[in-house]
A and B are shown apart, each in its own frame.
Chain A
Amino acid sequence: MDTEEYRDHPVRSYVLTSGRAHPSRNTLRPETLLRAVESRPVLSTAGRLERELVQLCHGTLALAEVAAYLQLPASLVTVMVSDLVDAGNLTIRSNHQAHVLPGKDILEKILDGLRKL
Protein backbone atom coordinates (compact mmCIF):
# COMPACT_ATOMS: atom_id res chain seq x y z
CA MET A 1 0.00 0.00 0.00
CA ASP A 2 0.96 3.53 -0.75
CA THR A 3 1.43 4.64 2.85
CA GLU A 4 4.88 6.05 2.30
CA GLU A 5 3.69 8.66 -0.16
CA TYR A 6 0.59 9.33 1.83
CA ARG A 7 2.45 9.83 5.05
CA ASP A 8 2.61 13.29 6.46
CA HIS A 9 5.76 15.24 7.13
CA PRO A 10 8.00 13.92 9.89
CA VAL A 11 6.73 14.35 13.38
CA ARG A 12 7.98 17.41 15.19
CA SER A 13 8.21 17.41 18.92
CA TYR A 14 7.79 20.65 20.79
CA VAL A 15 8.40 19.13 24.17
CA LEU A 16 11.79 18.52 25.66
CA THR A 17 11.89 15.02 27.00
CA SER A 18 14.47 13.16 28.98
CA GLY A 19 16.00 11.97 25.75
CA ARG A 20 15.22 8.31 26.26
CA ALA A 21 14.14 6.14 23.40
CA HIS A 22 10.41 5.54 23.24
CA PRO A 23 9.74 2.59 20.97
CA SER A 24 5.96 2.90 21.28
CA ARG A 25 5.80 6.60 20.51
CA ASN A 26 5.76 6.24 16.74
CA THR A 27 2.52 4.32 16.92
CA LEU A 28 0.71 7.00 18.93
CA ARG A 29 -1.69 9.36 17.24
CA PRO A 30 -4.27 11.76 18.67
CA GLU A 31 -6.98 9.18 17.86
CA THR A 32 -5.10 6.17 19.25
CA LEU A 33 -7.37 4.35 21.70
CA LEU A 34 -5.97 3.69 25.16
CA ARG A 35 -7.02 1.50 28.04
CA ALA A 36 -5.54 0.94 31.47
CA VAL A 37 -4.20 -2.51 32.34
CA GLU A 38 -6.27 -3.11 35.47
CA SER A 39 -4.06 -5.91 36.80
CA ARG A 40 -0.96 -3.75 36.73
CA PRO A 41 -0.47 -1.32 39.62
CA VAL A 42 1.15 1.99 38.75
CA LEU A 43 4.72 2.17 40.06
CA SER A 44 5.10 4.09 43.28
CA THR A 45 7.60 6.34 41.51
CA ALA A 46 4.96 7.50 39.03
CA GLY A 47 3.89 11.11 39.32
CA ARG A 48 0.45 12.51 40.02
CA LEU A 49 -0.26 13.16 36.35
CA GLU A 50 0.69 9.62 35.35
CA ARG A 51 -1.67 8.25 37.99
CA GLU A 52 -4.44 10.52 36.83
CA LEU A 53 -3.82 9.47 33.26
CA VAL A 54 -4.11 5.76 34.07
CA GLN A 55 -7.18 6.50 36.20
CA LEU A 56 -8.85 8.17 33.21
CA CYS A 57 -8.18 5.14 31.06
CA HIS A 58 -10.23 2.70 33.11
CA GLY A 59 -12.52 2.98 30.12
CA THR A 60 -11.39 3.40 26.52
CA LEU A 61 -10.41 6.91 25.48
CA ALA A 62 -8.39 8.38 22.62
CA LEU A 63 -5.08 10.03 23.40
CA ALA A 64 -6.46 13.46 22.47
CA GLU A 65 -9.33 13.00 24.95
CA VAL A 66 -6.85 12.17 27.70
CA ALA A 67 -4.90 15.33 26.85
CA ALA A 68 -8.05 17.44 26.96
CA TYR A 69 -9.20 16.04 30.31
CA LEU A 70 -5.75 16.46 31.84
CA GLN A 71 -5.48 19.93 30.29
CA LEU A 72 -2.06 19.11 28.92
CA PRO A 73 -0.65 19.43 25.40
CA ALA A 74 -1.12 16.27 23.34
CA SER A 75 2.63 16.25 22.63
CA LEU A 76 3.35 15.92 26.34
CA VAL A 77 0.64 13.31 26.85
CA THR A 78 2.11 11.29 23.98
CA VAL A 79 5.38 11.05 25.91
CA MET A 80 3.61 10.07 29.14
CA VAL A 81 1.47 7.49 27.37
CA SER A 82 4.50 6.04 25.68
CA ASP A 83 6.19 5.57 29.05
CA LEU A 84 3.07 4.03 30.56
CA VAL A 85 2.67 1.61 27.64
CA ASP A 86 6.30 0.59 28.02
CA ALA A 87 5.74 0.13 31.77
CA GLY A 88 2.72 -2.12 31.11
CA ASN A 89 0.14 0.20 32.69
CA LEU A 90 -1.61 1.14 29.46
CA THR A 91 -2.46 -0.80 26.33
CA ILE A 92 -3.13 0.51 22.89
CA ARG A 93 -6.67 -0.62 22.22
CA SER A 94 -6.75 0.06 18.49
CA ASN A 95 -6.33 -3.23 16.69
CA HIS A 96 -4.55 -1.85 13.67
CA GLN A 97 -1.07 -0.64 13.01
CA ALA A 98 -0.44 3.05 12.86
CA HIS A 99 0.31 4.21 9.31
CA VAL A 100 -2.10 1.67 7.88
CA LEU A 101 -5.02 3.44 6.31
CA PRO A 102 -8.50 2.11 6.90
CA GLY A 103 -9.60 -0.26 4.16
CA LYS A 104 -12.65 0.07 1.97
CA ASP A 105 -14.55 -2.31 4.25
CA ILE A 106 -13.99 0.05 7.18
CA LEU A 107 -15.08 3.06 5.13
CA GLU A 108 -18.26 1.20 4.19
CA LYS A 109 -19.02 0.52 7.84
CA ILE A 110 -18.44 4.19 8.65
CA LEU A 111 -20.79 5.23 5.86
CA ASP A 112 -23.48 2.85 7.09
CA GLY A 113 -23.10 4.24 10.59
CA LEU A 114 -23.25 7.86 9.43
CA ARG A 115 -26.37 7.19 7.36
CA LYS A 116 -28.10 5.82 10.43
CA LEU A 117 -27.36 8.87 12.58
Chain B
Amino acid sequence: MDSANSDRTAPGQHLAPTVARSVKILVVGAFGVGKTTLIGAVSEIDPLRTEERITTASVGIDPGQPNKETTTVAMDFGRITVTDDIALYLFGTPGQRRFWDLWAGLADGAVGALVLIDTRHLEDSFEVLDQLELHTKIPFTVVVNQFPDSPDYPLERVRAALDLLPETPIVECDARDRPSAVLTLITLVEHAMTFPVFQKVNA
Protein backbone atom coordinates (compact mmCIF):
# COMPACT_ATOMS: atom_id res chain seq x y z
CA MET B 1 0.00 0.00 0.00
CA ASP B 2 2.67 2.45 -1.06
CA SER B 3 0.29 5.18 -2.09
CA ALA B 4 -1.17 5.11 1.41
CA ASN B 5 2.12 6.24 2.92
CA SER B 6 1.96 9.72 1.46
CA ASP B 7 0.52 12.57 3.50
CA ARG B 8 -2.82 11.24 4.61
CA THR B 9 -4.56 14.57 4.52
CA ALA B 10 -3.07 15.81 1.25
CA PRO B 11 -5.84 18.13 0.03
CA GLY B 12 -5.36 17.02 -3.57
CA GLN B 13 -6.68 13.60 -2.61
CA HIS B 14 -10.01 14.98 -1.44
CA LEU B 15 -12.89 15.34 -3.82
CA ALA B 16 -13.86 18.85 -4.86
CA PRO B 17 -16.40 20.31 -2.40
CA THR B 18 -19.00 20.42 -5.20
CA VAL B 19 -19.05 16.62 -5.49
CA ALA B 20 -22.17 15.39 -3.75
CA ARG B 21 -22.82 12.09 -5.42
CA SER B 22 -20.90 8.95 -6.17
CA VAL B 23 -21.52 6.14 -8.61
CA LYS B 24 -19.52 3.01 -9.18
CA ILE B 25 -18.50 0.55 -11.80
CA LEU B 26 -16.95 -2.80 -11.00
CA VAL B 27 -13.89 -4.04 -12.84
CA VAL B 28 -13.90 -7.81 -12.58
CA GLY B 29 -11.95 -10.61 -14.17
CA ALA B 30 -9.63 -13.49 -13.50
CA PHE B 31 -6.24 -13.07 -11.79
CA GLY B 32 -3.70 -10.99 -13.68
CA VAL B 33 -6.08 -9.96 -16.44
CA GLY B 34 -5.30 -6.24 -16.16
CA LYS B 35 -7.90 -4.89 -13.71
CA THR B 36 -5.49 -2.74 -11.71
CA THR B 37 -3.78 -1.55 -14.89
CA LEU B 38 -7.07 -0.35 -16.38
CA ILE B 39 -8.10 1.39 -13.16
CA GLY B 40 -4.70 3.10 -12.94
CA ALA B 41 -4.96 4.25 -16.56
CA VAL B 42 -8.18 6.19 -15.99
CA SER B 43 -8.06 7.14 -12.31
CA GLU B 44 -7.33 10.72 -11.22
CA ILE B 45 -5.68 9.40 -8.05
CA ASP B 46 -3.05 6.69 -7.77
CA PRO B 47 -5.03 3.47 -7.40
CA LEU B 48 -5.68 2.67 -3.78
CA ARG B 49 -6.01 -0.71 -2.17
CA THR B 50 -8.03 -2.08 0.68
CA GLU B 51 -7.92 -5.63 1.92
CA GLU B 52 -10.23 -8.02 3.72
CA ARG B 53 -9.08 -11.12 5.55
CA ILE B 54 -11.29 -14.11 5.17
CA THR B 55 -11.17 -17.74 6.12
CA THR B 56 -10.82 -20.18 3.27
CA ALA B 57 -13.75 -22.08 4.75
CA SER B 58 -16.13 -19.30 3.79
CA VAL B 59 -14.57 -18.45 0.49
CA GLY B 60 -13.32 -21.66 -1.04
CA ILE B 61 -9.74 -22.47 -1.73
CA ASP B 62 -7.19 -20.04 -3.05
CA PRO B 63 -5.36 -22.00 -5.74
CA GLY B 64 -2.04 -20.47 -4.67
CA GLN B 65 -2.31 -21.32 -1.00
CA PRO B 66 -4.56 -24.32 -0.56
CA ASN B 67 -3.65 -25.01 3.06
CA LYS B 68 -4.02 -21.58 4.53
CA GLU B 69 -6.72 -20.95 7.05
CA THR B 70 -7.15 -17.31 6.21
CA THR B 71 -6.51 -15.45 3.04
CA THR B 72 -6.37 -11.79 2.12
CA VAL B 73 -8.38 -10.51 -0.76
CA ALA B 74 -7.43 -7.11 -2.11
CA MET B 75 -9.61 -4.62 -3.87
CA ASP B 76 -7.88 -1.99 -5.96
CA PHE B 77 -9.82 1.08 -6.86
CA GLY B 78 -9.62 4.48 -8.44
CA ARG B 79 -11.83 7.46 -9.06
CA ILE B 80 -12.77 9.92 -11.77
CA THR B 81 -14.58 13.18 -11.05
CA VAL B 82 -16.77 13.01 -14.15
CA THR B 83 -18.74 16.21 -13.56
CA ASP B 84 -18.61 19.00 -10.96
CA ASP B 85 -20.92 17.02 -8.74
CA ILE B 86 -20.41 13.33 -9.57
CA ALA B 87 -17.48 11.07 -8.71
CA LEU B 88 -17.22 7.73 -10.49
CA TYR B 89 -15.45 5.00 -8.52
CA LEU B 90 -13.94 1.97 -10.20
CA PHE B 91 -13.64 -1.03 -7.93
CA GLY B 92 -11.44 -3.86 -9.12
CA THR B 93 -12.10 -7.25 -7.64
CA PRO B 94 -11.38 -10.85 -8.58
CA GLY B 95 -13.96 -12.45 -10.77
CA GLN B 96 -15.67 -14.89 -8.50
CA ARG B 97 -18.81 -13.60 -6.89
CA ARG B 98 -17.73 -14.89 -3.48
CA PHE B 99 -14.95 -12.30 -3.61
CA TRP B 100 -17.13 -9.36 -4.41
CA ASP B 101 -19.50 -10.36 -1.63
CA LEU B 102 -16.63 -9.60 0.75
CA TRP B 103 -17.16 -5.90 0.31
CA ALA B 104 -20.57 -5.22 1.70
CA GLY B 105 -22.69 -3.48 -0.89
CA LEU B 106 -20.06 -3.60 -3.61
CA ALA B 107 -22.33 -4.85 -6.38
CA ASP B 108 -25.36 -3.16 -4.86
CA GLY B 109 -26.29 -0.09 -6.86
CA ALA B 110 -23.45 -0.41 -9.38
CA VAL B 111 -23.98 1.08 -12.81
CA GLY B 112 -22.37 -2.02 -14.26
CA ALA B 113 -19.25 -4.10 -14.59
CA LEU B 114 -16.36 -4.31 -16.99
CA VAL B 115 -15.40 -7.96 -17.38
CA LEU B 116 -11.78 -8.16 -18.42
CA ILE B 117 -10.84 -11.16 -20.53
CA ASP B 118 -7.45 -12.56 -21.44
CA THR B 119 -7.89 -14.61 -24.60
CA ARG B 120 -4.82 -16.67 -23.70
CA HIS B 121 -6.86 -18.08 -20.81
CA LEU B 122 -10.44 -17.76 -21.95
CA GLU B 123 -11.73 -20.49 -19.67
CA ASP B 124 -10.67 -18.48 -16.60
CA SER B 125 -13.49 -16.08 -17.42
CA PHE B 126 -16.35 -18.55 -17.59
CA GLU B 127 -17.14 -18.44 -13.90
CA VAL B 128 -17.45 -14.67 -13.64
CA LEU B 129 -19.65 -14.54 -16.73
CA ASP B 130 -21.89 -17.23 -15.30
CA GLN B 131 -22.18 -15.26 -12.08
CA LEU B 132 -23.09 -12.06 -13.86
CA GLU B 133 -25.57 -13.60 -16.26
CA LEU B 134 -27.29 -16.01 -13.92
CA HIS B 135 -27.19 -14.34 -10.54
CA THR B 136 -27.23 -10.60 -11.07
CA LYS B 137 -28.92 -8.09 -13.31
CA ILE B 138 -25.87 -5.87 -13.52
CA PRO B 139 -25.20 -4.55 -17.01
CA PHE B 140 -21.76 -5.61 -18.15
CA THR B 141 -19.39 -5.18 -21.04
CA VAL B 142 -16.73 -7.70 -21.98
CA VAL B 143 -13.31 -6.15 -22.47
CA VAL B 144 -10.72 -8.18 -24.32
CA ASN B 145 -7.40 -7.02 -22.96
CA GLN B 146 -4.66 -7.41 -25.56
CA PHE B 147 -1.34 -8.84 -24.50
CA PRO B 148 1.66 -9.12 -26.85
CA ASP B 149 1.23 -12.87 -27.23
CA SER B 150 -2.57 -12.86 -27.31
CA PRO B 151 -3.96 -14.92 -30.18
CA ASP B 152 -5.49 -12.73 -32.85
CA TYR B 153 -9.09 -13.94 -32.61
CA PRO B 154 -11.79 -11.82 -34.22
CA LEU B 155 -14.13 -10.43 -31.54
CA GLU B 156 -17.07 -12.36 -32.93
CA ARG B 157 -15.17 -15.59 -32.32
CA VAL B 158 -14.50 -14.59 -28.73
CA ARG B 159 -18.17 -13.67 -28.34
CA ALA B 160 -19.17 -17.11 -29.60
CA ALA B 161 -16.62 -18.89 -27.41
CA LEU B 162 -17.90 -17.04 -24.35
CA ASP B 163 -21.51 -17.65 -25.40
CA LEU B 164 -22.46 -14.03 -24.75
CA LEU B 165 -25.96 -12.74 -25.14
CA PRO B 166 -26.32 -10.88 -28.45
CA GLU B 167 -26.87 -7.54 -26.70
CA THR B 168 -23.78 -7.79 -24.47
CA PRO B 169 -21.12 -5.43 -25.81
CA ILE B 170 -17.63 -6.80 -26.41
CA VAL B 171 -14.70 -4.47 -27.08
CA GLU B 172 -10.93 -4.70 -27.38
CA CYS B 173 -8.73 -2.62 -25.16
CA ASP B 174 -5.19 -1.83 -24.13
CA ALA B 175 -5.67 -1.45 -20.39
CA ARG B 176 -2.51 0.68 -20.16
CA ASP B 177 -3.89 3.27 -22.56
CA ARG B 178 -6.18 5.93 -21.07
CA PRO B 179 -8.34 6.70 -24.13
CA SER B 180 -8.74 2.98 -24.79
CA ALA B 181 -9.78 2.33 -21.17
CA VAL B 182 -12.15 5.34 -21.16
CA LEU B 183 -13.86 3.95 -24.27
CA THR B 184 -14.67 0.73 -22.43
CA LEU B 185 -16.38 2.79 -19.71
CA ILE B 186 -18.38 4.75 -22.30
CA THR B 187 -19.48 1.50 -23.94
CA LEU B 188 -20.61 0.15 -20.58
CA VAL B 189 -22.57 3.24 -19.53
CA GLU B 190 -24.25 3.41 -22.96
CA HIS B 191 -25.24 -0.23 -22.52
CA ALA B 192 -26.52 0.41 -18.98
CA MET B 193 -28.78 3.17 -20.34
CA THR B 194 -30.75 0.54 -22.25
CA PHE B 195 -31.65 -1.23 -18.97
CA PRO B 196 -35.12 -0.40 -17.64
CA VAL B 197 -33.88 -0.16 -14.02
CA PHE B 198 -31.93 2.97 -14.93
CA GLN B 199 -34.69 4.69 -16.87
CA LYS B 200 -36.18 6.48 -13.92
CA VAL B 201 -34.98 10.00 -13.25
CA ASN B 202 -34.14 10.43 -9.58
CA ALA B 203 -31.58 13.16 -9.44
Contacts and interface: CB of A to CB of B under 8 A. Distances in A.
A93 B136 CA distance: 28
B48 interface: yes
Interface in A65-99: 65, 67-69, 71-75, 78, 93-96, 98-99
B198 A113 contact: no
Q: Contact size class for A?
A: 35 or more
A28 B105 contact: yes
B9 A65 contact: no
Contact of A106 (B23, B24, B45, B185): B23
Interface in A38-89: 52, 55-56, 58-62, 64-65, 67-69, 71-75, 78
A106 B8 contact: no
A116 B122 CA distance: 33
A33 B13 contact: no
Interface residues of B, number: 68
Contact of A104 (B13, B108, B138, B193): B193
A106 B203 contact: yes
Contacts of B133: none
B91 A114 contact: no
B30 interface: no
B67 interface: no
B22 A32 contact: yes
B196 A114 contact: no
B150 interface: no
A56 B108 CA distance: 25
A103 B60 CA distance: 36
A14 to B, nearest CB: 6
Contacts of B106: 8, 29-30
Given A12-B101, A32-B22, A104-B200, A117 B80 contact: yes
A1 B197 contact: yes
B145 to A, nearest CB: 19
A30 B78 CA distance: 12
